[in-house]
């Protein structure tokens, strides 16, 4: 027999934006009462809230949509329409003001100035920012941005100060922090995990090889592919796999077809990973071939030619499964043998079905160190970066 209702809602919400919450009928021991057949009525401390109409539950539980319109701390309540004692109220929901479309709003400042740091989106919407460097040196500090309050708060320090590292959200909710550069600019093998619940970092087994300028890609099976990068021996063609079940790194069965640093890695709809761009071991542009990593065999196979030799390029997986590769820094071939690198406006498309590249229309501006973001309508936003030209 149901004695009360549980109302589970998000901790944060944006005014005038719908979100989902769940109502569950429970008995005195907090077990779900699958036979509950009552009708539930909804109220809120937000007098302007848009709430569901009266409703039954399905097998004792059901998800609903609500919109809160008043900023501040609000709650949602659910009550049986016949037996008022069968009721429940959500935890506090922090409602923040909606941003005006097409505008930027300043947030609170970070606690530390940073460059070459890493930022990772958590499942709850918060963003931990780790490491980097500033005028004081390489940082071990970390802080978390809460979008609901637009503020940063310090969390536990990393066990190793680092910049130019990777930070990857694992399927279990922790963040894997790998490699990077120490205070002297040397590549690191050190790795650690961040627990957003406790706010602490825990060292784990080291990489097999020190790396910076590498990529880290979460695979569909929960492992993480660490590919390429550079260290004191030069640029790397090797790759490693992190297994969250064991907490260990193991070498991939095969190397990439070329050593690469400052390349891109894109998880394809097939579960394979496209590695593109980067420099070779002589620190000049490498092969225009890409590499396809197959998690089933832990091996790389070369793509057809026609790709890109650029470093600091950007990649975006399109809705149709192709990959758009844009720009980057390329050897200034127009300068003959002067050996200078210049920014590129090149855009190419990779097809998974044929494992080949095709030219797309060039960007209107040559750029490197930019971003490429797939929008909901299927377009790709290319933003920022730098333009470098050279005259011989």
pLDDT digits (tens, 9 = 90+) for 275-314: 999 876 544 555 678 999 999 999 999 998 778 888 899 9
Tell me what pLDDT residue 205 has: 98
Query: 11-25, 152-166, 216-230: lowest mean pLDDT where?
Result: 11-25
User: Which three-class secondary structure state does DSSP give residue 176?
Assistant: strand
> pLDDT band at 165, cuts 50/70/90?
very high
How far is 95 from 113, CA to CA, in rounded Å? 29
Among the listed residues 228, 178, 186, the one whose alpha carbon sits nearest the alpha carbon of residue 206:
178
Instruction: Output the CA angle 227-252-282, nearest 5 degrees.
Output: 45
How far is 381 from 392, CA to CA, in rounded Å? 33
Note whether 225 and 243 are within 8 A (CB).
no
Tell me what pLDDT residue 388 has: 80
Which residues neighbour 185 within 8 Å (Cβ) at sequence distance 6 or greater? none
Q: Look at residue 380 and tell me whether its pLDDT is greater than 60.
A: yes
Which residues neighbour 377 within 8 Å (Cβ) at sequence distance 6 or greater? none
Query: 231-245, 314-328, 369-383: lowest mean pLDDT where?
Result: 369-383
User: Which three-class secondary structure state does DSSP give residue 335?
Assistant: helix
Instruction: State phi, psi for 195 to the nearest 5 degrees.
Output: -100, 110
- Domains of the chain, residue spans: 4-96
Among the listed residues 133, 176, 136, 127, the one whose alpha carbon sits nearest the alpha carbon of residue 155:
127
What is the chain's mean pLDDT, rounded?
91
Tell me what pLDDT residue 41 has: 98
> pLDDT band at 103, cuts 50/70/90?
confident
- How far CA 206 is from CA of 98, 178, 250, 258, in Å, comes to 43, 9, 10, 24
- Token reading at 265: 């890695």
Q: Look at residue 121 and tell me whether its pLDDT is greater than 60.
A: yes
| Higher pLDDT among residues 111 and 98, named by residue | 111
How far is 44 from 37, CA to CA, in rounded Å? 23
Q: What is the mean pLDDT of residues 218-238?
A: 96
Say how many CA atoms lie within 13 Å of 348 toward its Cβ: 23
Q: What is the mean pLDDT of residues 18-30?
A: 96
Q: Write the class of the CATH domain 4-96.
A: mainly beta
Tell me what pLDDT residue 333 has: 44
Q: Look at residue 361 and tell me whether its pLDDT is greater than 90.
A: no
């Amino acid at each position: 027999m149901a004695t009360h209702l549980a109302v589970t809602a998000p901790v944060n919400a944006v005014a005038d934006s719908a979100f989902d919450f769940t109502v569950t009928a429970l008995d005195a021991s907090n077990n779900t009462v699958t036979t509950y057949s009552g009708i539930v009525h909804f109220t809120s401390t937000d007098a302007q809230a848009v709430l569901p109409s009266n409703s039954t539950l399905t097998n004792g539980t059901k998800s609903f949509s609500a919109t809160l319109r008043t900023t501040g701390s609000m709650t949602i309540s659910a009550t049986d329409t016949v037996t008022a004692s069968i009721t429940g109220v959500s935890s506090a929901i922090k409602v923040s003001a909606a941003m005006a479309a097409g505008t930027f709003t300043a947030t609170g400042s970070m606690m530390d100035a940073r460059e070459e740091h890493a930022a990772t989106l958590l499942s709850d919407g918060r963003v931990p920012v780790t490491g980097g460097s500033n005028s004081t040196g390489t940082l071990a500090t970390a802080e978390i941005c809460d979008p609901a309050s637009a503020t940063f708060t310090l969390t536990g320090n990393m066990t190793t100060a680092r910049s130019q590292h990777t930070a990857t959200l694992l399927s279990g909710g922790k963040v894997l922090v790998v490699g990077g550069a120490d205070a002297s600019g040397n590549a690191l093998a050190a790795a650690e995990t961040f627990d957003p619940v406790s706010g602490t970092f825990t060292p784990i087994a080291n990489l097999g090889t020190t790396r910076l300028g590498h990529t880290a890609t979460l695979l569909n099976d929960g492992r993480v592919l660490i590919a390429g990068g550079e260290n004191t021996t030069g640029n790397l063609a090797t790759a490693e796999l992190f297994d969250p079940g064991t907490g260990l790194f193991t070498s991939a069965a095969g190397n990439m077809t070329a050593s690469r640093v400052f390349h891109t890695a894109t998880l394809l709809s097939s579960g394979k990973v496209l590695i593109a761009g980067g420099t070779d071991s002589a620190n000049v542009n490498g092969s225009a071939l890409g590499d396809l990593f197959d998690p089933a065999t832990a091996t790389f196979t070369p793509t057809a030619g026609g790709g890109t030799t650029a470093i600091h390029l950007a990649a975006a997986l399109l809705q149709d499964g192709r990959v758009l590769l844009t720009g980057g820094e390329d050897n200034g071939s127009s300068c003959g043998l002067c050996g200078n690198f210049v920014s590129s406006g090149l855009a190419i498309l990779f097809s998974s079905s044929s494992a080949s590249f095709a030219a797309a229309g060039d960007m209107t501006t040559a750029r490197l160190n930019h971003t490429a973001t797939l929008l909901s309508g299927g377009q790709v936003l290319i933003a920022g970066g730098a333009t470098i030209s050279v005259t011989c």
